[in-house]
């Protein structure tokens, strides 16, 4: 690979605990895998050839690692903000990175190359939802459609009583946002009212990440790092929007085919949502 083809990219988790630089060819494409963990986390993979990585802040030991199945792949994420960063594979050379963590990279403009990882290995068994049903699902005569799901390892679950089925008939708003946190954590949002959502799990297993105005807590599983919802944060007050609503990451809901939903709204949160984020 010619030296003139190499660029230095900088990436980081949202809270800035982990910052890295990677030398690789210009990023023009990424792979989207449909396996259980990649789907839930919205991964866009980079497989740089001959890449050189160095940590500017933090290290391998600063990240939480999650393995499952054969245990050969370790998925690494920040334990504070849950940004997925990279993966290690025992059977492959190092250098598996996530495009969402790269600073200034417009992933909407990348060529997306699908990869059918779902056919590899044993089928994923969805964990059973063990929480109570949302209030909206228990109202007599309710016409809502109940969906359950959660993280990959099963420690954190979520249930949603949706006003419409989550397919082509869905009339609610769904958003992919490119703000600093939504880009890094690859959320696909829906916006049900609070009484239509239940977040379930031991509190010790539920990570909560507030930032900025601290109106919301981005919730995630501390073990597998899957981002689940946008719960009310420490500065939410009675009567405001975060108190009345509980957005959910559609990626974690069982049986929902994102391709069957109406076209997702792409929201330019990077430029429209204050305060401005400064890349470390």
Residue 95: predicted pLDDT: 63
Residue 92 in this model has a pLDDT that exceeds 80? no
Comparison of pLDDT for 70 and 149, the residue scoring more: 149
pTM higher than the cut 0.85: yes
Tokens of 230: 């946008």
Residue in this structure with the two tokens 């390892």, named with its chain if needed: 153
Sign of CA dihedral 74, 78, 81, 86: negative
**pLDDT tens digits for 221-249?**
999 999 999 999 999 999 999 999 999 99
Residue 1 in this model has a pLDDT that exceeds 50? no
CATH architecture of 135-267: Beta Complex (2.170)
Residue 149 in this model has a pLDDT that exceeds 90? yes
Helix (H, G, I), strand (E, B) or coil at 105: coil
The domain limits of the chain are 6-115, 135-267
Looking at the domain that runs over 6-115, which CATH code has it been given? 2.170.150.70
Residue 19: predicted pLDDT: 98
Phi and psi based region of residue 13 (left: phi greater than 0; alpha: psi -120 to 50; beta: remaining)? beta
Find the angle CA(264)-CA(270)-CA(273) to the nearest 5 degrees.
Answer: 95
Dihedral (C-alpha) 113, 114, 115, 116: value to the nearest 10 degrees? -170
Matching CATH topology for 6-115 and 135-267?
yes
Cβ atoms within 10 Å, residue 105 = 18
Residue 139: predicted pLDDT: 87
Cβ atoms within 10 Å, residue 137 = 20
Residue 6 in this model has a pLDDT that exceeds 60? yes
Q: Are the C-beta atoms of 250 and 174 separated by less than 8 Å?
A: yes
């Amino acid at each position: 690979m010619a030296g003139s083809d190499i660029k230095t990219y900088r990436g980081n988790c949202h809270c800035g605990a982990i910052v890295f630089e990677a030398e690789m060819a210009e990023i023009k494409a990424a792979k989207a895998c449909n396996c259980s963990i990649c789907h839930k986390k919205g991964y866009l993979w980079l497989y740089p050839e001959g890449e050189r990585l160095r940590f500017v802040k933090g290290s391998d030991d600063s990240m939480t690692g999650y393995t499952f199945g054969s245990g050969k792949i370790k998925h690494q994420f920040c334990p504070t903000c849950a940004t997925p960063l990279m993966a290690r594979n025992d059977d492959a050379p190092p250098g598996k990175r996530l495009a969402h963590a790269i600073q200034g990279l417009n992933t909407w403009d990348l060529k997306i190359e699908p990869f059918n990882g779902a056919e590899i290995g044993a089928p994923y068994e969805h964990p059973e939802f063990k929480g109570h049903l949302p209030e909206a699902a228990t109202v007599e005569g309710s016409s809502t459609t109940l969906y359950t799901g959660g993280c990959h390892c099963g420690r954190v679950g979520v249930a949603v009583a949706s006003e419409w089925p989550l397919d082509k008939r869905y009339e609610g708003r769904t958003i992919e946002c490119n703000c600093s946190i939504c880009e890094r954590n690859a959320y696909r949002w829906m916006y049900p009212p609070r009484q239509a959502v239940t977040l379930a799990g031991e509190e010790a297993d539920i990570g909560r990440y507030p930032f900025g105005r601290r109106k919301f807590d981005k919730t995630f599983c501390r073990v597998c790092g899957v981002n689940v919802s946008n719960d009310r944060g420490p500065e939410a007050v009675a009567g405001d929007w975060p108190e009345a609503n509980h957005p959910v990451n559609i990626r974690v809901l069982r049986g929902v085919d994102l391709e069957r939903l109406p076209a997702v709204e792409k929201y330019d949160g990077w430029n429209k949502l204050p305060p401005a984020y400064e890349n470390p």
